[in-house]
Structures are given as structure tokens and as C-alpha cells.
Homo-oligomer: A and B are copies of this chain.
Amino acid sequence: MKIDHLAVVGATGAVGREVCTILESRNIRPEKLTLLASERSKNREIVVFGISHKIEVLTERSFDGVQYAVFSAGAERSREFAPIAVRAGAVVIDNSSAYRMDPTTPLVVPEINPQAVFQHRGIIANPNCSTIIMNVAVYPIHRVIPVRRIVVSTYQSASGAGAAAMEELRTQTADVLAGRRAVPTSFPHPIAFNLFSHNTPIGSDGLNTEERKMIDETRKIFAAPDLSISATCVRVPVPRAHSESINLTLERPMSPADARAILETAPGAKVVDDAEGNYFPMPIGASGRDEVLVGRIRRDPSQSDGRGLDLFVCGDQLRKGAALNALQILELLVR
């Protein structure tokens, strides 16, 4: 795999740092690596492949000679700088929401729609973390018998809100344990020993932006514009793995045994479903892992026609939910 020049935009953020870690673990070794961030991170250094890289400040000149750029610096930064990177000749893999629903931008989960990567016009969008984690578990079933409806409730980790939010979970929890007041800064509400509806704006339809992303992005990735989805997105006091309770209605009945057999060979998924030992997917088991863990695979007793299945999944929000998926897209491009 040959990459002349890779730029990582937002290299000091939670996802950017994970990108650097995964470059090493997957041995994606560009000839030249440029780590970009805002003024705030200037002069910081990050060691990748044993070499210390000084953080450079992101500017309009940052992309000269860059072949691939992985953006994880928020939608606003992507909207401003991704077109500049493309004009400079780079292919952009964008972790933000900026281009995901743009009809000319591929939105890719490599286990699901790898072919879409090659239709890019300079930018490839990396889906929302909750979307990716759900899709890795649901698509293998959908391929065999189409899924008609999904009712999903999420248990989302602090990492989705960035490195500062992860730190807030730690420090605020220590404060509460010491009898001090919880003082939220990254989040609008206390996260220590609490949970709350996902803190993204609510639209006129009553859905927050995270729920809207799960619905719209899943339809685009599955190429299933009529797929019906109800999503409820909730933030929980967990550092870096998202969990999701998923209820499915299929076009035709599928037994839990068949679903389990399908998921056992599904790319990117790992079945963790020990009913006897009461051992199922947990955030601590998913954290730092590449696979989305899938368990509690069972018949939905509320659908007497056998078309209902329930699942519970956990996936590392920073890895498969963000950095890993982006670098899998890079691997597809380079291969």
C-alpha cells in the first residue's frame, strides 16, 4: 500500500488521535504524514511510527502535495477546508456530517457499500458513529431478508462529543463522588451518574439531529430510501463505546438461529451472545476493538408473524464509529 502524502486534519482531537494509532496498528505508513490542527494545538507533537510529528496549523496552503486527507475537525472546518484540499489535488475522507447527505458524495461503510467509494468527486463521507455501528449489525440480515422497519434506542458514550467530553465524564464523576456539584461544560447537562437525550438540536418533527442522521444515513448506505426507522438517541456515562438496542421488522420471517449464523460470518461483526452465562455485548468489551459486538439475538415476541428480531450491539465509537471506518475507506482507495 503506497501513500505519498497523507494529511490528518484535527489530529489532536479524540478521533484524530485514534487515526494516528490505527495508522500504526494497520501499518498504513505514508511516505509523508502531515498532522494539522487549530492554532490552539500549534507546536504540540504526536509520535507516529516512532517519529515525532509537529502539529501544523491548518491553513489554505496546508494541502499542497497532499494525496489523501482525513478530516475529523467538525462540519464547519470540513465545509471550509475540504474543497480547498480537493482543489489542491487531494482525496478527502470526511468524518464530519458536512457532506454525508450530499447526493454526489459517497457515504461509505466498507463492509456494506465499498463500491461507492470509487464514485467520489474528491470527497468521501464517513457516516455518523451510531449509524455505522447499527449498520454493521443490521446490513448482513438486510442482505438476506430485507429489513422493513428499525426501532433503535442508543446508549451513546461521551467520546462522541470529543476528547474534552471524555475528560468531563472523568472529572465530573470524581467531583460528584467527592460531594462536589457537577459542573457541565462540554455537555449541557451533568453526565456523571446521569444520562440525557442526545444534545443536538430538535427539528420541527421532534427528532434531534443525531436521530435524523441515523435515519437518513442508513437509508443512503443501504440504498433503501423506503426503510422505516424510529431512533431515540441518548447519552450515557460511558467513555468510548456506543451501545444500541435494535428492534427489526423483516419482509419475511427469519429465525434467531439463522440471524446468528449470518452474523457469525458477517464482516466487522462479532457475535457475543452467551445466554447461559448472561454474557452479552458491553462497552468495556467493545472499547479498543475493531468489531461491532452483537448479542441478545432473539425473536421479538411482539411480532407474532415471526418477522421480528431483537439485537443488542456495542461498538467502539472512536474506532469503527469514526477513525477505523475512515482508514478502511483509505485502504479501499489505495488498494
Tallying the copies of this chain within the complex gives: 2
Known A-B contacts: A153-B153, A193-B238. Give 13 more (CB < 8 A). Answer: A149-B302, A151-B151, A153-B232, A197-B312, A202-B278, A206-B299, A228-B301, A230-B303, A232-B245, A232-B312, A236-B236, A236-B237, A247-B247
Asked if A195 is at the interface (CB within 8 A of a chain B CB), the reply is yes
CB contact list, A137-158 vs B, under 8 A? 149-151, 153, 155
Shortest A334–chain B CB gap in Å is 36
Asked if A42 is at the interface (CB within 8 A of a chain B CB), the reply is no
Which of the segments A16-24, A93-101, A125-133, A280-288 contacts the partner chain? A280-288
Asked if A110 is at the interface (CB within 8 A of a chain B CB), the reply is no
Asked if A190 is at the interface (CB within 8 A of a chain B CB), the reply is yes
Q: A278 to B197, Cβ gap below 8 A?
A: yes
A positions within 8 Å CB-CB of B: 149-151, 153, 155, 169-170, 173-174, 177, 188-190, 193-197, 199, 201-202, 205-208, 215, 228-230, 232, 234, 236-239, 243, 245, 247, 256, 275-276, 278, 280-284, 295-304, 308, 310, 312
Q: A194 to B302, Cβ gap below 8 A?
A: no
Q: B232 to A310, Cβ gap below 8 A?
A: yes
User: CB-CB < 8 A to A197: which residues of B?
Assistant: 278, 280-281, 295-296, 312
Please judge, given known A-B contacts A151-B151, A153-B245, A302-B228, whether A282 and B202 are in contact too, CB under 8 Å.
no
User: CB-CB < 8 A to A205: which residues of B?
Assistant: 298-299, 301
A298 to B170, CA, bound (A): 33
Q: A195 to B232, Cβ gap below 8 A?
A: no
Shortest A300–chain B CB gap in Å is 5
A144 to B303, CA, bound (A): 23
The one of B151, B177, B207 in contact with A173, judged by C-beta atoms closer than 8 angstroms, is B177
Interface centre among A195, A208, A296, A303 (most CB of B within 10 A): A195
